[in-house]
A = this chain, B = another copy of it.
Amino acid sequence: MNTILSDNYSVYFDNSLDELVDFIKKGNYSKFFILTDENTGEHCLPLLTSKLTGFNNYDLIEISSGEESKTIDFCVGVWKMLIDFGADRKSLMINLGGGVITDMGGFAASTYKRGIDFVQVPTTLLSQVDASVGGKTGIDVDGIKNIIGTFTMPKAVFIAHEFLQSLPPRQILSGLAEMLKHGLIVDSGYWNKLKNSDLKNPSVELVHRSVEIKNEITIEDPHEKGIRKALNFGHTIGHAVETYSLLHDKDSLSHGEAVAIGMICESYLAHKKTGLPSEELHEIVMVLTDLYPKYTIKEASFDELLLNMKKDKKNVGDEINCTLLTHIGEFSIDNVCTADELCESLRYYINL
């Protein structure tokens, strides 16, 4: 697979992790640190450490898995470990894990001593196709996702398709939602290819194309002033549902499951507001309802969901903005949606 060039860094596709080892050698780092959670510590770390014989200037930092760890408390824990291990400005942080690890490790590194180098080794499908490029780092505060963070580019990204082998099916589905989104917003050919593949086991070629799409969009608009908003398709409602579920459900929705719901609702809004043809709406709904389990949303939760949307980083003032589709493969940004419209789209989902 071709290396993808991003904003001053490269995304390598490499099951062996040899490119990463090369990168560490060339970087002449005083020390390096590998951040994992218990799952990536078990399933992914052994491959990496097996390549690190001969290095004795690194330490491991493990945090517990899950979105609950993406908080300032855990981040302070990481900072303190870096202090205790004597990390200096010529240190490197290697974030080996899903989006929680890459987001929070990226934030911790981008603020430690006002910024040390870090690389991303995403190990979930979601983090490979989404969190790997774009330079967003972040943590949650008060349950509000990514409310705190920076825009900081990693020095490199290493994608080992191999790591997906140990990933539970539900996590594959979570990443898949973003891949489907990539097709829906800019590439109907890719959408068609996805529809017709074995989606429980997405090939490295499909992963590669998703990274390419996300990369092209974020390079063109690094600070989310314009076309990057395309990536928000499904996310205005999706994030609100995700936040809701995180607070209320014992077994809460994954990001992708929430975004799948968001894409259904926002496709409905697109049909109503930006002319998405009804055949295309139905095609989208069919593919998504086929892949993702139905989630129960009650009218009584609408107020909280709307409040979540208002608190979303993306919104300015009291308006709620959505990225919608005009066709499969074509998007339209900055569509102001009223509370009534948003509720109607939630009802559409409920009644499917």
Report yes or no: B83 in contact with A142, Cβ–Cβ below 8 A.
Answer: yes
Closest Cβ of chain B: how far from A153's Cβ, in Å? Answer: 13
Q: Does A41 contact B (CB under 8 A)?
A: no
Is B113's CB under 8 angstroms from A147's CB?
yes
Q: How far is the CA of A151 from the CA of B152 in the complex (A)?
A: 11
Number of interface residues, chain A, beta carbon within 8 A? 35
Contacts of A282 in B (CB 8 A): none
Q: Does A74 contact B (CB under 8 A)?
A: no
Stretch in A13-21, A118-126, A309-317, A340-348 touching the partner: A309-317
* A7 is an interface residue with CB less than 8 A from chain B: no
Interface residue? A167 (CB, 8 A) = no
Q: Kindly report how many copies of this chain are found in the complex they form together.
A: 2
CB within 8 Å for A72 and B83 given contacts A114-B313, A313-B89: no
CA–CA, A121 and B13, complex, Å: 48
A5 interface residue (CB < 8 Å to B): no
- Chain B residues within 8 Å of A111, by CB: 111, 148-150
Chain B residue numbers with a CB within 8 Å of A142 are 80, 83
Residues from 140 to 199 in A contacting B, C-beta threshold 8 Å: 141-142, 144, 146-151
Binding site for B on A (CB under 8 A): 30, 72, 76, 79-80, 83, 86, 88-90, 110-115, 136-138, 141-142, 144, 146-151, 310-311, 313-317
What 4 pairs across the A-B complex have the smallest Cβ distances? A113-B313, A114-B149, A90-B316, A88-B316
